[in-house]
Amino acid sequence: MIEIAAPQLQLLDVNSYAARGVSVAVLRLDAMHPTIHGNKWFKLKYNLAEFQSRGLSQVVSVGGAYSNHLAALAAAGAAQGFKTVGIVRGEIIEPLNPVLHFAREQGMTLIPLSRKAYRELRESIDPIDNDPTLNSLRTRLGDFAFLPEGGANFRAVAGCAEIVDSIDWSVFDAHVATERVVALACGTATTLAGIVCGLQLARSNEAPRVKSPRVLGIAALKGEGYLVAEANRWIEAGPKADTAATRIDWAIDERFHCGGYAKVTPSLMRFVQLFGIETGMAVEPVYTGKLFFALHQQILAGEYPRGTQIVALHTGGIFSHA
């Protein structure tokens, strides 16, 4: 049994934000469990329940060399006693980076796949889990349940919709906000879609005069329009309360990917280091670091009106060889 703590909201005390009238609180999804980090639990929970109901004891998934999803799946397998296999895009380089090292420590079998073959596998997988490529893997590995890249499917969207239950705007000062924003890093847009769906469902139970927050995704990868299309697809598949009265505004900002997935710049790395010193909160440069890097630049550039309240999701991703 995996015990997950309720995530807490932590206010950031940053003078430059306060000077511009912007308040930021961090939803510490990273602190819910020592090994299953951040939003990944919400993506996994309904999938794992479904796999258990089918009596499956092995789960296969795919991801890049810095996939937080593979690491969380490996940890869940270690905690619940099922086998895990990670199909890793590209060459697996030894010594392993901290993410893959952690996954292997948790018992995950890592299998490299060329970028071309990986792309073909990802593009060929259909929703009913009956793909010829997967069937060839079953010949090699035995029967298994399959999770797509990033754990992205409709069960993951439904799980991520529950993150909204932990957002409490009363953590901010009592004054009325001019704008409320829920911000998060995006790799597959599944979590963003879940947040949008969860806010729509919550909106249907609120008084019409209550102003809904908007949702802002910060793209962690390069690919113009890709994440927007993915978000639309998952929102359509997610829990429904999408009417004119409940619709939530959302957008994905593609300016801060720093060259692409797992790509970094010197300014990003300096920011990640200084952010940790100033706030006491560790972030990594692949996802959450880019989120706060973006928010920092947006706030200092005056992109938010005074009185804006931002809840930023810390979606985990801190691994070490310790």
Collect contacts of 142-146 with beta carbons under 8 A, ≥24 apart.
142/58, 143/56, 143/58, 144/56, 144/58, 144/59, 144/60, 144/83, 144/85, 145/47, 145/50, 145/51, 145/54, 145/56, 145/58, 145/59, 145/60, 146/59, 146/60, 146/61
Report residue 269 as tokens. 């790395």
> What per-residue confidence (pLDDT) applies to 161?
95
Q: Is 200 exposed, middle or buried (0-12, 13-18, 19+ CB in 10 A)?
A: buried
Q: Kindly state the average pLDDT of the residues 267-291.
A: 96
Q: Are strands 9-11 and 83-89 parallel, antiparallel or unpaired?
A: unpaired
> Mind giving me the DSSP string for 275-320?
HHHHHS----TTTHHHHHHHHHHHHHTT-S-TTEEEEEEE------
pLDDT band at 132 (very low <50, low <70, confident <90, very high): confident
Residues in the chain: 322
Q: How remote is the C-alpha of 228 from its chain's centroid?
A: 15
Handedness of CA 56, 60, 161, 27 (dihedral sign): positive
Read off the pLDDT of each residue in 69-84 and give the average, rounded to a whole number.
95
Query: Do 200 and 247 contact (CB within 8 A), yes or no?
Result: yes
The reply to whether 9-36+156-314 and 40-151 are identical in fold is yes
CA-nearest of 198, 172, 156, 201 to 26 is 172
Among residues 184, 186, 199, which one has the least CA distance to residue 230?
Answer: 186
In this prediction, residue 232 carries a pLDDT of 94
pLDDT value of residue 322: 38
- Give the largest Cα separation in the chain, rounded: 61
**Is it the case that residue 168 has pLDDT exceeding 80?**
yes
Quote the CA–CA distance of 105 and 70 in Å, as a whole number: 12
Q: What is the pLDDT of residue 276?
A: 95
CATH topology of domain 40-151: Rossmann fold (3.40.50)
pTM of the predicted structure, to 2 decimals? 0.91
Q: What is the DSSP letter of 211?
A: P
Beta bridge partners of 219: 186
Report helix, strand or coil for 172.
Answer: coil
Pairing of strands 9-11, 23-28: antiparallel
Q: Over the chain, what is the mean pLDDT?
A: 90
What is the tens place of the pLDDT at every residue in 220-264? 999 999 999 999 999 987 776 555 567 899 999 999 999 998 899
Across 46-50, 125-129, 153-157, 278-282, least confident range: 125-129
Q: What are the sequence ranges of the domains in the chain? A: 9-36+156-314, 40-151
- Cis peptide preceding 95, ω within 30 of 0: yes
Tens of pLDDT, residue by residue over 310-322, are: 999 999 988 754 3
Predicted local confidence at residue 321, as pLDDT: 42
pLDDT, position 135 = 81
Q: Which percentage of the chain shows pLDDT scores above 90?
A: 74
Higher pLDDT, 158 or 173: 158
The mean per-residue pLDDT over the stretch 108-117 comes to 91
C-alpha span between 243 and 46 (Å, rounded): 26
2 confidence band (pLDDT: 50, 70, 90): confident
Could you name the CATH architecture of 9-36+156-314? Answer: 3-Layer(aba) Sandwich (3.40)
Segment among 77-91, 94-108, 120-134, 173-187 with least mean pLDDT: 120-134
Residues 17, 306 contacting (CB under 8 angstroms): no
